[in-house]
């Protein structure tokens, strides 16, 4: 008796919790009781809610070129530590790294350094210049190029996902495609243009030393010098005009060493972005500023100089800032992309589609009609065929659907069209479990058992078959969720929740009801 009471009490508790987590997703009831109900609710996917669909292309060749340039800077820095002078490392044609060795007697030491620290570089035989210097041309090995291309695609995918998470989109669909492409689906976006800007902004941050001795208007520039556009603020205005400034081509520090970025306001209530470097970036920034006191340092974002302050003293603590007459929204968006990490290469938008909510509403209506028609047919058939027992099965079916909706609401899951298909499939599987149980009970009653004994034996025999079949289905849903994306995951979520809910209602809750019924049925027995 105590076991039966425990079953009934647990069933009531699950029902109450399921109701509490389902109500926030009900259109009218949820907003009216939002003060007392949980905040999480069921989200609608792109196919139901509308939103934007993007296809992005990752310029992996540019990522390889950037890595080659960084390898050149590392080579010069490490050679300097070994008392070897390496001059003017630069990338030529996007695939070749050229650098000079002024002293030929240092060639053995340089070869040893390259073999030890740069095995990914294939270095050809040097060419001897008129002054005795050696000119080297290096390339990445084929395996390294392939690795960097894959790494660039993975980093772009991770960076885009981080940006979208901070942007606040519920259940986005982000996945790789063939041809170095990334597909992004953002349901329920109210400002598509801002989302595209945040996702596609490279946010490549660099710190360059300014060359005051070079005229940016000259047609021919000295080696190792480039000219970049300078965003200049008009006094007392938020508008900017572009000038030009000459800087050293090699960056002293990049955004890869940025640990955090936050929007802030200065004394004039102007927005700017504060930067916090990681340990490595803080050390480099302190060393560079200490060696360059009195010079200007250009802060470059995506090829444009936002500010070029004069370095007054060594700057420790690993902090810097970017100012540029930002609006509050621009500073917030810039902080998001910098905090999420810079993209390894430009990621242009190859395709953009907007899905309207009206199309999604049509899909919802069609899916709901299909679910209602199927559920009604099943309910009527079970009720007619099994009588009062069929009505209990119908109640358990409703309980199962309530648990599924509550589970999706509690975890903030996304409902898609395949998800609706998973719910419809759950209806059939839930009824199938009840059919197995009822047929087992009928067999036990034919053998002459009492109603209570027949119920217990029938549930015990059927529970094994139901558990075995449903466990195999759960394994499949786990695999679908793990390796699938987007709509496939939506199908796996609803189907998995439906399987577990149907097992609970059929084996646990229904058994408690039937045992209580069998105890009080009298000589007529149970109707099944």
DSSP string, 398-441: HHHHHHHHHHHHHTT-EE-HHHHHHHHHHHHHHHHHHHHHHHHH
CATH of domain 201-354: 3.30.1360.200
How many residues are present in the chain?
Answer: 528
Query: Which residue in the block uniquely carries the two structure tokens 């209570």?
Result: 452
Confidence at residue 15, expressed as pLDDT on a 0 to 100 scale: 92
Planar angle of CA 374, 416, 476, nearest 5 degrees: 80
Confidence at residue 203, expressed as pLDDT on a 0 to 100 scale: 66
Separation between Cα atoms, residue 430 and residue 477, nearest integer Å = 16
9, 382 Cβ separation under 8 angstroms:
no
Confidence at residue 140, expressed as pLDDT on a 0 to 100 scale: 92
In the chain, which stretches have pLDDT less than 50?
2, 235-239
DSSP H helices, 343-387, are: 357-386
Tokens of 196: 């595209």
Q: Whole-model pTM? A: 0.58
Q: In 3-state terms, the chain is what percent helix, strand and coil (to 5)?
A: 55, 20, 25
Tell me, rounded to whole angstroms, the distance of Cα 329 from its chain centroid. 22
- The ranges assigned to domains in the chain are 2-48+358-524, 61-144, 201-354
Ramachandran angles phi, psi of 469, nearest 5°: -65, -40
Q: What single string gives the DSSP state of each residue in 122-151?
A: EE-PPEE-TTS-EEEEEEE-HHHHHHHHHH
Tokens of 313: 């003293």
Give SS3 for 63.
helix
- pLDDT tens digits for range 80-91: 888 888 888 888
- pLDDT tens digits for range 128-187: 887 778 889 999 999 999 998 888 888 888 888 877 776 666 667 788 888 888 888 887
Q: How many other β-carbons are positioned within 10 Å of the β-carbon of residue 419?
A: 27
Q: Which CATH class is domain 61-144?
A: alpha beta
Confidence at residue 328, expressed as pLDDT on a 0 to 100 scale: 80
Separation between Cα atoms, residue 152 and residue 463, nearest integer Å = 51
First to last CA, the chain: 23
Query: Which residue in the block uniquely carries the two structure tokens 């990490």?
Result: 341
Give SS3 for 101.
strand
Q: How many other β-carbons are positioned within 10 Å of the β-carbon of residue 473?
A: 16
Hey, which CATH number is domain 2-48+358-524, 1.10.10.10, 2.50.20.10, 1.20.1640.10, 3.30.70.580? 1.20.1640.10
Separation between Cα atoms, residue 249 and residue 18, nearest integer Å = 62
Helical (H) or strand (E) element with 490: helix 487-503
Confidence at residue 17, expressed as pLDDT on a 0 to 100 scale: 92
Confidence at residue 16, expressed as pLDDT on a 0 to 100 scale: 92
Confidence at residue 427, expressed as pLDDT on a 0 to 100 scale: 83
Confidence at residue 329, expressed as pLDDT on a 0 to 100 scale: 76
């Amino acid at each position: 008796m105590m076991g039966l009471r425990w079953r009934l009490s647990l069933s009531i508790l699950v029902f109450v919790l399921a109701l509490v987590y389902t109500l926030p997703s009900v259109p009218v009831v949820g907003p009216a009781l939002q003060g007392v109900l949980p905040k999480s609710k069921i989200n609608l996917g792109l196919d139901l809610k509308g939103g934007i669909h993007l296809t992005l292309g990752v310029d992996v060749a540019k990522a390889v070129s950037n890595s080659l340039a960084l390898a050149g800077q590392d080579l010069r820095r490490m050679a300097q530590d070994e008392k070897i002078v390496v001059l003017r490392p630069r990338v030529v044609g996007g695939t070749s790294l050229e650098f000079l060795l002024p002293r030929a007697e240092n060639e053995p030491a340089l070869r040893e350094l390259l073999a030890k620290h740069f095995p990914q570089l294939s270095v050809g035989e040097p060419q001897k210049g008129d002054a005795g210097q050696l000119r080297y041309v290096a390339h990445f090995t084929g395996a390294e190029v392939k690795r960097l291309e894959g790494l660039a695609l993975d980093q772009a995918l991770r960076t885009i996902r981080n940006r979208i998470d901070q942007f606040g989109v519920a259940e986005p669909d982000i996945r790789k495609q063939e041809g170095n492409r990334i597909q992004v689906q953002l349901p329920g976006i109210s400002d598509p243009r801002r989302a595209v800007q945040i996702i596609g902004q490279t946010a490549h941050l660099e710190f360059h030393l300014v060359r005051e001795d070079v005229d940016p208007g000259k047609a021919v520039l000295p080696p190792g010098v480039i000219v970049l556009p300078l965003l200049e603020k008009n006094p007392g205005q938020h508008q900017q005009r572009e000038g030009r400034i000459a800087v050293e081509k090699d960056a002293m520090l990049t955004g890869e060493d940025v640990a955090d970025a936050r929007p802030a306001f200065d004394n004039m209530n102007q927005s700017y972005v504060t930067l916090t470097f990681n340990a490595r970036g803080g050390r480099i920034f302190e060393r560079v500023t200490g060696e360059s006191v009195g010079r200007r340092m250009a802060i470059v974002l995506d090829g444009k100089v936002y500010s070029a302050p004069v370095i007054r003293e060594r700057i420790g603590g690993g902090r810097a800032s970017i100012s540029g007459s930002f609006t509050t929204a621009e500073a917030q968006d810039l902080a998001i992309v910098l905090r999420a990490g810079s993209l390894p290469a430009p990621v242009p938008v190859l395709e953009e589609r907007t899905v309207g909510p009206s199309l999604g509403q049509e899909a919802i209506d069609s899916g709901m009609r299909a679910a209602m028609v199927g559920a009604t047919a099943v309910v009527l058939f079970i009720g007619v065929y099994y009588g009062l027992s069929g009505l209990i099965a119908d109640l358990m079916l409703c309980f199962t659907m309530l648990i599924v909706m509550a589970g999706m609401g509690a975890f903030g899951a996304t409902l898609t069209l395949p998800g609706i298909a998973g719910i419809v499939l759950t209806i059939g599987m839930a009824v199938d479990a009840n059919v197995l149980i009822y047929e087992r009970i009928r067999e036990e009653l034919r053998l002459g058992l009492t109603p209570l004994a027949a119920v217990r034996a029938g549930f015990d025999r059927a529970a094994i078959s139901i558990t075995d079949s449903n466990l195999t289905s759960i394994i499949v849903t786990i695999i679908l969720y793990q390796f699938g994306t987007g709509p496939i995951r939506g199908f796996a979520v609803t189907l998995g929740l439906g399987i577990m809910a149907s097992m609970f209602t059929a084996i646990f809750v229904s058994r408690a009801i039937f045992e209580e019924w069998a105890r009080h049925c009298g000589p007529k027995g149970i109707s099944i």
